[in-house]
Structure 1
Amino acid sequence: MDSTLKAHLTHRQTWLRGLFIVLFSIIYSTAGMVLTAIVVFQFISILLSGACNPRLLAFARQLSTYLYQVLLYVTFNREERPWPFDAWPTAELAALTDGQRQQQY
C-alpha cells in the first residue's frame, strides 16, 4: 500500500470528522422534525388568530440557522462544529431585517 494512502486512511482527524458527520446527521434529522412541527403549529396559529407566535418565530429562526450551520459542517464548508460545541445561534444572528417580514396574513 502506498504510504501516502496509508497516511490518509489512518489520519485520526478524518475519522473523528466522520464520527461527527454521523452524529450531526442524526441531530439534523431530529431537528428537521421539530422544525416541521413548528411550521405546522405556526400555520394553525395563523389560521386561528391571524398572527404568528412571536416566541416560536424567533426559535424557528434560530433553529433554521442551526440547521444551516450543521449542513455547512457536514459538507466540509465549515470547520467549526455547531452547537453543542459552539454557541447556539442567537436571535440577532438569525434575525431578518424588519423590511423583509412585513406581510400580514
Structure 2
Amino acid sequence: MEPDQTVPATEQRKSSFGDTAIWMRGLYMLLLVLAFGVAQMLLCVTTIAQFLWLLFSGEPNVQLTHFGRSLARWLADTALFLTGATDVKPFPWAPWPPAS
C-alpha cells in the first residue's frame, strides 16, 4: 500500500509538542510520580506499624487498616492516571478516597 501522495508527510502525522493540555498532563504526572514515591514510603511505615501492633496486641489496628485501604485506593487511582488509563486526576485534585 502506497502512502497518500496528495498530502505532505508533515500533515499526515500531527505533532503534539504544541499541545498545552499534554504538557499540563505531563506536569501533573511528574508531581504525582513524586507523591507516589512518598506514598510508597508511607505504606512501608504503615506496614511496619501494623506488624508491630499485631505482634504486641494479637489483632490488627482498625485505624491503620482503614488508612491502609484508603492509601491503597489512592495508589491505584494514581497508577491509573499515570499510565493513561484514566483522565481523572487523584487527590489533591479530587477528594481523598474512602477506605471502603
Indicate the residue corresponding to 1:79 in structure 2: 87
Indicate the residue corresponding to 2:52 in structure 1: 44
- Aligned pair count reads 91
Question: Equivalents in 2 of 1:79, 1:38: separation in Å?
Answer: 29
Q: Which runs of 4+ in 1 moved over 4 A?
A: none
Structure 2-normalised TM-score? 0.85
Larger of the two Rg values belongs to structure: 2
Structure 1-normalised TM-score? 0.81
Question: Equivalents in 2 of 1:28, 1:17: separation in Å?
Answer: 16
Question: Equivalents in 2 of 1:59, 1:51: separation in Å?
Answer: 16
Q: Which runs of 5+ in 2 are unaligned?
A: 1-8
- The letter for the 2-side match of 1:89 is P
Q: Which runs of 5+ in 1 are unaligned?
A: 93-105
Is the counterpart of residue 58 in structure 1 residue 66 in structure 2? yes
Is the counterpart of residue 17 in structure 1 residue 25 in structure 2? yes
- The letter for the 1-side match of 2:33 is S
Deviation track 1:40-75 (CA, whole Å, cap 9, x = no partner) reads 110111111101110111011000100000000000
Superposition CA RMSD, Å: 1.4
Report the CA distance between 1:91 and its aligned residue: 2.0
- The letter for the 1-side match of 2:52 is I
Question: Equivalents in 2 of 1:52, 1:46: separation in Å?
Answer: 5
Identical counterparts, % of pairs = 29
Indicate the residue corresponding to 1:28 in structure 2: 36
Higher helix residue share:
1
Indicate the residue corresponding to 1:102 in structure 2: none
Deviation track 1:5-45 (CA, whole Å, cap 9, x = no partner) reads 44x11000111111111000000000110010000110111
